[in-house]
Amino acid sequence: MADGANLRLIDHHCHGLVQRDLAEDEFQALLTEASGPSVSAFDSRIGLAVRRWCAPVLDLPAHAPVDEYLARRASLGYAEVDARFMAAAGLSALCVDTGYVPEPISTPESLAASIDGSTYEIVRLEQVAEDLYGQVDATGFADAFQAALRQRTERAVGVKSIAAYRVGLDLDPVRPSTSDVVSAAWRWLSGGRRMADPVLQRFLIWCAVDRGLPIQFHVGLGDSDVDMKSGDPLLLMPLLRAVEPTGVPVMLLHNYPFHRHAGYLAQVFGNVYVDVGLATHNLGDRSRVLIEETLELAPFGKFLFSSDAFGLSELYYLSATLFRRGVSAVLEAGVSAGSWTAADADRLADMVGSGNATRVYGLGDGGFRQTA
């Protein structure tokens, strides 16, 4: 196949970057999903991958010692570090989830200045709902949410559900009734701002289906707040059956360690798509195996690239590098084995790198672009 190192990539799920310099413990906290690692994150596959692949971008030799890497990063400052890694990642478009902002981070507009391409917004359903907390009563919640969702998604290319974090993926597929939504809204509004009601989660999802935009679902791998046993995408099968006739695309994010399950769902449901998201950089040199196993059943036309990068620009670069290497290795092995031709490999690489994302999200005009 053609040079995989130059494969055009669209990152269909990512986040903003922290806009300040970081202490060592803060850097390590953003490097993995650990809530408070008791050992160095650099003594893991992702840490070793940072030293191997990221160090040269900062003018250090590959496998530079941790202290040298962190010192060099600090001396350059976060703005220069981000500029280097975003340029080196070579991404042509970003679909940015704006729903998680624990501190000031870069916006889709500001990220557009860091890539040679466009950025687009992914709206988080729970954020739209929780912004209404204290502003509406239970009877007015449904109409207020639908109006807010229409407004928030005027320029967005998709929405995201974090039901996996809040209630798990074993969701009743039936659209909740008006009375059920009112009762659930009353329970929610009588408690805390965090929405963790299964009826309301279903309501948000069906409102998103009505909007017709691709719906991203967090699946599997996440921080310690997620209940992994409730994050298997197979639990979504009843809901997927209910949504499939609408034709609305369902995007299963991350999926590890359920990536083979997700690949099966992408094969059997016409509107289901998958990626391996943040598992790409977390697995480091094992990311090729992850990609290969996902593609055992997932059609190439249903597989996309995402980084789920948050906070650190290294995660954008590392995910892009490892994904390109993994996809190239899988496709080149198939050519060598006679499983497909070199022309097939080039075509399939274009699909997973950018073609599928362009098609599913309808990317084109309407994104944020760098201005002179």
pLDDT tens track for 162-218? 999 999 999 999 999 999 999 999 999 999 999 999 999 999 999 999 999 999 999
Q: How confident is the model at residue 372 (pLDDT cuts 50, 70, 90)?
A: very low
Question: What integer pLDDT is reported at residue 371 of this predicted model?
Answer: 47
The helix/strand count (H/E) of the chain reads as 17, 8
Q: Which residue has the tokens 């369902």?
A: 250
What letter does residue 220 receive in the DSSP assignment? S
Question: What integer pLDDT is reported at residue 5 of this predicted model?
Answer: 84
In this model, does residue 237 exceed pLDDT 90? Answer: yes
Single-letter code of the amino acid located at 152: R
Are residues 157 and 362 in contact, defined by beta-carbon separation less than 8 angstroms?
yes
* Residues above pLDDT 70, as percent of the chain: 97
Q: How confident is the model at residue 3 (pLDDT cuts 50, 70, 90)?
A: low
Are residues 42 and 48 in contact, defined by beta-carbon separation less than 8 angstroms?
yes
Peptide bond preceding 257: is omega within 30 degrees of 0, i.e. cis?
yes
Question: What integer pLDDT is reported at residue 37 of this predicted model?
Answer: 60
Q: Residue 280 and residue 89: Cα distance in Å, rounded?
A: 14
Q: Residue 25 and residue 160: Cα distance in Å, rounded?
A: 30
Tokens at residue 43, please? Answer: 């003594």
In this model, does residue 21 exceed pLDDT 50? Answer: yes
Q: How confident is the model at residue 60 (pLDDT cuts 50, 70, 90)?
A: very high
Sequential DSSP letters for 21-61: ---HHHHHHHHSS-SS-SS-GGGSHHHHHIIIIIGGGGT--
The CA angle 265-121-227, to the nearest 5 degrees, is 45
Q: Which residue has the tokens 């080196």?
A: 88
In this model, does residue 42 exceed pLDDT 80? Answer: yes
Write b or e for each residue in 157-167: b if 16 or more Cβ atoms lie within 10 A of its Cβ, otherwise e: bbbbbbbbbbb
Single-letter code of the amino acid located at 36: G
Question: What integer pLDDT is reported at residue 132 of this predicted model?
Answer: 97
Q: Residue 147 and residue 132: Cα distance in Å, rounded?
A: 11
Average per-residue pLDDT in the chain? Answer: 95
Question: What integer pLDDT is reported at residue 181 of this predicted model?
Answer: 98
Are residues 283 and 259 in contact, defined by beta-carbon separation less than 8 angstroms?
no
Q: Residue 265 and residue 229: Cα distance in Å, rounded?
A: 18
Are residues 129 and 150 in contact, defined by beta-carbon separation less than 8 angstroms?
no
Question: What integer pLDDT is reported at residue 326 of this predicted model?
Answer: 98
Per-residue model confidence as pLDDT tens digits over 315-330: 999 999 999 999 999 9
In this model, does residue 26 exceed pLDDT 60? Answer: yes
The radius of gyration of the chain from alpha carbons, rounded to an integer in Å, stands at 20
